Structure 1
């Protein structure tokens, strides 16, 4: 069956959105194995192996729970297992996904206290600390931060957020979304004192959508004992009880676990430090291309530049969606669209996951040709600037 019906050209479709990312052939082949009995002895071995191999990727010695869900499910699991109706949560609206997490909190009966930004920078750490210091009655039960805001290309400094909680002497839990950063940008659940880390399978982990994760601290587990928000599917307790022997309390996504097992091997073989350096290098090459084109990166603070994606602003009076449509039509390449207030103002280049130098140069070539075709004012030479960086920085 043909799933791409809008194209008839030879060659492959170039998926350069910031997730879901391209799935390596090795991972696809792992998925293409017969589904095993999820109550049989072989599955217990697989389950224990995968759960153990996940921990270094999160930077934790604590449990990591796997749900058959998108990252949105992991958001909900983090909230309902640690909080009670009416609890106040401090949330930083760094972009569209932080906004959606806030909306979820409201629907669940929580009371978000929102720290807004202009969507051009990461979480405002001084504002977080000030809000926590002012909360003398400790009404704030959790601080929720998106590590890498996929809509803007801004990465928050979670180590600094933890330092702000400590400086304020506040007991709030720290909940962090790493859906577009895990496996792409350095992250340390334990060292940074994170209580619940939320993630998903479809970005840096190089899998299709379908798995989501909660890495859970001892403090979060303690909070879950008194949390009163309703939960059933998302309940950590039966998951952890079954996971102790490698099993799940309900039917798991077996073939995605095969894929995860292989993807974790690939990350370990490359070495996480090398994975992060590769992403840093590709991100810098992309930003050099953008600057050479005379365009503007959405993220304004270099300390917050994302290594997973780059959001690019188009000049006033021009359409980012029109540019994306022209690139898709002419080169069969998908770029990320602008979300929320950034609709039609930015396009997003994903450079994460299973990605190498030639993939990046092909992507940037498509963008540079697309800028010309769509009539977006720019200078030539962006691809050359990226090549100069890559060839001089192995």
Structure 2
């Protein structure tokens, strides 16, 4: 059946019907008073979501644009930085940092394990001359389904006093609690196609006062991603360049939905769906790739035995029109990933676990009685 695809990947995520309807409106002038009102409202809503009184700026571009903006607006060529690397997106940070001539020291963990805050602590404490300018890391590493301890790592950065934290929160913002002001995070990058529940095309950079102070010393090249220009425009409820107008319509609608649900309810929903997915996976005899104690609320990675993970994905896509994410690089064919991020409800979780159990049974790879996995998932959902 056409047009029934259910996205259960870490992005893009499902989009609510009313958000799609808002996108279908005729564009308006991006220098008009009507559009300025939308910019003003969404800016305040973005601050609410980030739990900050600091600046949150909107860029027409992907989450990687926000990540790159975080670097080029706070650092200078040759600056010493620490990059956390425990997955595909940690590797991306390293590539961006090196592309701009930064002196990169890597704190590494094997894929499937979280970054160790004590490694950051040791390096930062040894830096008695305060030459480290930034600690750069991914909060929710979706390539493996790991959530890194951003709060603990950021505390070590604050103890250093000179360095700033630049965090990729692309798949954690809107899924778990990230109180920017309370934790004292300096730069947060995120993207529209994740917890924001709208299509790809917008990214967001939140900047603390300390980040703006670092900006005054930054000499890395920037033009389209020059956040000073975005701040100047935002102060006038505008954009420095032509924005994705219809995505702004969607953004306002989605953030209004999120405000109606409430932050705690949003976080609890993601945690509940994460647990229901994990427990259903285990009940049907499958292994979680990442220990559930540090699993991401956005995605669950599964490592099946004696069966190619890509075959599972292809069969579920063919039989049920449910799209799961595959493994990346050396994990291709070894794991698959179930997204439970953004506009996801109980029905979606029940559907994907049922489809997975049915698929394994069809392939002759289900090692537990059929129905055991979905029964556990429903029990968790009913209990929680």
1:352 pairs with one of 333, 341, 344:
341
- Give the stretch that moved more between structures: 136-145 or 375-384: 375-384
Structure 1 residue ranges (4+ consecutive) displaced by more than 6 angstroms after TM superposition: none
User: In structure 1, what is the Cα distance between the partners aligned to 2:184 and 2:225?
Assistant: 23
TM-score normalised by length of structure 2: 0.97
- Give the stretch that moved more between structures: 235-244 or 137-146: 137-146
The reply on whether 1:171 has 2:162 as its aligned counterpart is yes
Q: Secondary structure at the match of 2:54?
A: coil
| Equivalent in the alignment of 2:355 | 366
The reply on whether 1:319 has 2:308 as its aligned counterpart is yes
Q: 1:362 to 1:377 in 2, by over 3 A?
A: closer
The reply on whether 1:137 has 2:129 as its aligned counterpart is yes
1:103 pairs with one of 76, 95, 105:
95
Matches within 5 A, 1:281-300: 281-300=272-291
Indicate if the aligned counterparts of 1:80 and 1:227 stay in contact, CA closer than 8 A: yes
- Give 1:250 shift: 0.8
- Give 1:166 shift: 3.5
2:324 pairs with one of 332, 335, 338:
335
Matches within 5 A, 1:62-211: 62-167=54-159, 169-211=160-202
Q: 1:311 to 1:129 in 2, by over 3 A?
A: same
Q: Secondary structure at the match of 2:204?
A: strand
Indicate if the aligned counterparts of 2:273 and 2:349 stay in contact, CA closer than 8 A: yes
Q: 1:284 to 1:353 in 2, by over 3 A?
A: same
TM-score normalised by length of structure 1: 0.94
Indicate if the aligned counterparts of 1:326 and 1:374 stay in contact, CA closer than 8 A: no
Q: Secondary structure at the match of 1:191?
A: helix
User: In structure 2, what is the Cα distance between the partners aligned to 1:10 and 1:321?
Assistant: 22
Cα deviation 1:266-307 (Å, max 9, x = unaligned): 0000111001101111100001011112222122261x2211
- Give 1:378 shift: 3.4
User: In structure 2, what is the Cα distance between the partners aligned to 1:348 and 1:62?
Assistant: 34
RMSD of equivalent CA atoms: 1.3
User: In structure 1, what is the Cα distance between the partners aligned to 2:365 and 2:19?
Assistant: 38
| Equivalent in the alignment of 2:264 | 273
- Give 1:11 shift: 6.2
- Give the stretch that moved more between structures: 371-380 or 133-142: 371-380
User: In structure 2, what is the Cα distance between the partners aligned to 1:162 and 1:14?
Assistant: 36
Q: Secondary structure at the match of 1:181?
A: coil
Cα deviation 1:241-273 (Å, max 9, x = unaligned): 111111111101110001000000000001110
User: In structure 1, what is the Cα distance between the partners aligned to 2:84 and 2:367?
Assistant: 34
Any gaps of 5 or more consecutive residues in structure 2? none
User: In structure 2, what is the Cα distance between the partners aligned to 1:148 and 1:349?
Assistant: 14
Q: How many residue pairs were aligned?
A: 382
User: In structure 1, what is the Cα distance between the partners aligned to 2:132 and 2:309?
Assistant: 39
Q: Secondary structure at the match of 2:181?
A: coil
- Give the stretch that moved more between structures: 286-295 or 251-260: 286-295
The reply on whether 1:242 has 2:220 as its aligned counterpart is no
Q: Secondary structure at the match of 2:239?
A: coil
Cα deviation 1:189-247 (Å, max 9, x = unaligned): 11111110000000110000000010000011011111011000000111111111111
| Equivalent in the alignment of 1:231 | 222
| Equivalent in the alignment of 1:309 | 299
The reply on whether 1:16 has 2:8 as its aligned counterpart is yes
User: In structure 1, what is the Cα distance between the partners aligned to 2:66 and 2:175?
Assistant: 19
Indicate if the aligned counterparts of 2:278 and 2:292 stay in contact, CA closer than 8 A: no
| Equivalent in the alignment of 2:376 | 385
1:54 pairs with one of 46, 66, 82:
46
Indicate if the aligned counterparts of 1:15 and 1:335 stay in contact, CA closer than 8 A: yes
| Equivalent in the alignment of 1:40 | 32
